[in-house]
Structure 1
Amino acid sequence: MAKNYIGLEIGNGITTMYQGGKKGKILVSRLPENLVDDGEIVSPELLSQFLKKMKKEGKFSGRACALILPEFSAYFRSLEMPAISEKQLRLNLPYEFRDFVGNESINYNYDYAVEDYVTDEDGKVTAIRLLAASASKETIKEYENLLNRAGFKLKVALPREMALLNLVRKAIERGAPSDRTFVIIDVGFTNTRVYIFQGEDLKATKTIEMGCRDVDSVIADYYNIDVYLAASYRETDHEGILESDECRAVYNRISLEVMKAINFYKYENRQSEFEDCFICGDCSDTEALVNNMLAYVRLKRESLDVILPEESRGLSDAPRALMSIGVTL
């Protein structure tokens, strides 16, 4: 994929833009209120204006962009299919998503990435392991129109898992062990997600319906302010609020669920050994939460430079913009 694509993720709390090239650049901007609610766009026209302003502020060049699809708009599956041609694979993908899309398969787009090939004793390919996704054509069209008004041209749209697979694959191409376990913890605004790759094989995912919005809620209650203002208090650690018992109680609940997910994977995959993890996401800069989580899971925080392309290493906002980086690769 062209290096000059602008990677874009429109989250619930923040929006991130990334562009590679000789030296990568990232812009992270907090979303104004009432533009996006739980991933769904509330005001397309105002959001277009916001993105147009971001593009100008960050001095991003060109129109071509690659978008991270919001979770509600895309379905994602790990599949193992017979060793058939690409044409046959694409013909069969709608059938594999029938439980999600029902009789509406004609109204969805489908795509896939090959994870691995299964071979017999003679080395003959007998099956293909895939990461596959489907997205509503209507949703894609809505984003195309929104982004066009903002000065972009949508070229690629991927779910988060495929963006992470791009990063893992590139890391292995650069020399990371092909059997390494990549544990990626995405500390988001509304959700915290755990992704575990064994090499290029996505082995496990877990979504925990808690994130920094829950921290903002207890801060709002503590100061008797609205939640949007409370997010500013969190970002600046107003009066050391992030070390309060109220906030720590939220950290503990999130960290406990992350620990359960990782421990379950270890129990089910006892041959898999790992001592570190990668931290990313909207709230990966909330150190009090991240440190609490690392203590629970008993893993070291590995540098994202291991999976980042060279042009984005050293950029302070790379952890928050990881998906926007991965979607451009």
Structure 2
Amino acid sequence: PGVVKEGVIQDKESLANIIKMACNTVKGKKLGTKYVIVSLPEEKSFSQLIQMPKMTEEELRLALPFEAENYIPLAIDKSYLDFQIIDAHKKDSKHLGLLVNVMPKSIIDSYVLSFKNAGLIPCVLEVESQAIARALLKNEKTASSVILIDLGYDSTGFIIFSDGSIRFTCSIPISSQQLTNAISDSLGINLHDAEILKVKHGLDKKHHSIDKIIEPILLDLASQIKKYIDFYHGHSNHEYFPYDGKIEKIILSGGGANLKNISDFLSEELKIKVELGNPFSNIIQPKKKFFPPENILSFTAALGLALRGASEQIDN
């Protein structure tokens, strides 16, 4: 606690030591490489789908920093910028769609330094939403638009995925820990006992005292999800927005997704099908269960990073 707060590293030395300890105490086969795939905090990134005239990738890299200033509320000269080309659905389009990801250099540099201090070499850095989508979506394809909701410890990730790529992301400042804090404050108990009650009862109407405490927070979450869906529909460029714009379903991940009855609750509030994700959708599950069922969703991003690592060719 306190080493990383809301995606910002507060203590690089402690984080490096934690990483070292994790590598040295890992069960099973020991790590055979120093190269690592690193997930960057969604809440500190900014993603925007923008349109530019058709040009080569080299020309795009030169022109994009100037164009991005019109869309990105971050200082471009103090940020790292990358992009993914999105194909238009009109074959005669004279433009390119670009999904632009931007993050402050200070954030990325601090993560790189922490891993280097732990004796590791970051070879790929990507925002958490990319790893989550890779883990949850079979071959990273969907029949229509879906929303991925990652209910994390200190924030909730919101991802719209459509036609083979992420189209929109944001971070919602509502978290699983916020529910625990509310139970602790309301009942006057410590956080450990509050966490036990949250996990045991969740939104079970038979235990109305807990349901009553956490429901207002989850209603706020549902309201913010609605707001971002409306924002996306109103601002997306439909030349790069496939299908009819309808959201087929919402897929939940993260430790908070284990909250009892949360899928039914969100489905009722949002009038959209909601289901728990399967982080092993692109992995052959071993016969031996390495993850307790109640913990699998907490490892969604980590499994997505592992899939990226398995596909990378690292040149020494």
TM-score, L = length of structure 1: 0.71
**Paired residues, number:** 287
User: CA offsets, 1:142-192, max 9 Å, x none?
Assistant: 2122112334321111123433554558333xxx53xx2222122223333
Counterpart in the other structure of 1:284? 257
Residue 87 (structure 1) shift: 0.9
Q: Which moved more, 1:199-208 or 1:155-164?
A: 199-208
User: CA offsets, 1:22-71, max 9 Å, x none?
Assistant: xxxxxxxxxxx222222222222222222222333434523222122123
Say which structure is richer in strand: 1
* Aligned: 1:79 with 2:50: yes
Residue 300 (structure 1) shift: 3.2
Unaligned runs of 5+ in 2: 309-316
The separation in 2 between residues aligned to 1:228 and 1:114, in whole angstroms, is 46
Counterpart in the other structure of 2:298? 320
Closer, same or farther: CA 251–114 of 1 in aligned 2, 3 Å: same
Q: Which moved more, 1:231-240 or 1:183-192?
A: 231-240
User: CA offsets, 1:177-209, max 9 Å, x none?
Assistant: 3xx222212222333333222212544445432
Counterpart in the other structure of 1:304? 277
Whether the 8 Å CA contact 1:74–1:134 is kept in 2: the answer is yes
* Aligned: 1:35 with 2:35: no
Q: Secondary structure at the match of 1:320?
A: helix
Unaligned runs of 5+ in 1: 1-32
Closer, same or farther: CA 163–291 of 1 in aligned 2, 3 Å: same
Closer, same or farther: CA 49–236 of 1 in aligned 2, 3 Å: farther
Residue 131 (structure 1) shift: 1.5
User: CA offsets, 1:107-146, max 9 Å, x none?
Assistant: 433222222246544xxx6222122223333433321221
Whether the 8 Å CA contact 2:3–2:10 is kept in 1: the answer is yes
Q: Secondary structure at the match of 1:272?
A: coil
* Aligned: 1:112 with 2:83: yes
Counterpart in the other structure of 1:28? none
Q: Secondary structure at the match of 2:63?
A: helix
Whether the 8 Å CA contact 1:262–1:297 is kept in 2: the answer is no
Closer, same or farther: CA 185–101 of 1 in aligned 2, 3 Å: closer
The separation in 1 between residues aligned to 2:265 and 2:165, in whole angstroms, is 28
Q: Identity of counterpart residues, as a percentage? A: 18
The separation in 2 between residues aligned to 1:34 and 1:290, in whole angstroms, is 31
* Aligned: 1:255 with 2:222: yes
The separation in 2 between residues aligned to 1:271 and 1:220, in whole angstroms, is 44
* Aligned: 1:171 with 2:171: no
TM-score, L = length of structure 2: 0.74
* Aligned: 1:49 with 2:13: no
Q: Which amino acid aligns with 2:131?
A: A
Whether the 8 Å CA contact 2:279–2:297 is kept in 1: the answer is no
Q: Which amino acid aligns with 1:323?
A: A
Counterpart in the other structure of 1:209? 173
Q: Secondary structure at the match of 2:85?
A: strand
Closer, same or farther: CA 185–45 of 1 in aligned 2, 3 Å: same
* Aligned: 1:183 with 2:152: no
Residue 88 (structure 1) shift: 0.9
Whether the 8 Å CA contact 2:42–2:129 is kept in 1: the answer is no
Closer, same or farther: CA 201–278 of 1 in aligned 2, 3 Å: same
Q: Which amino acid aligns with 2:225?
A: V
Closer, same or farther: CA 113–170 of 1 in aligned 2, 3 Å: farther
The separation in 2 between residues aligned to 1:320 and 1:305, in whole angstroms, is 11
User: CA offsets, 1:54-107, max 9 Å, x none?
Assistant: 3334345232221221235433221222211111111122223335343x61x4
Q: Which moved more, 1:283-292 or 1:215-224?
A: 283-292
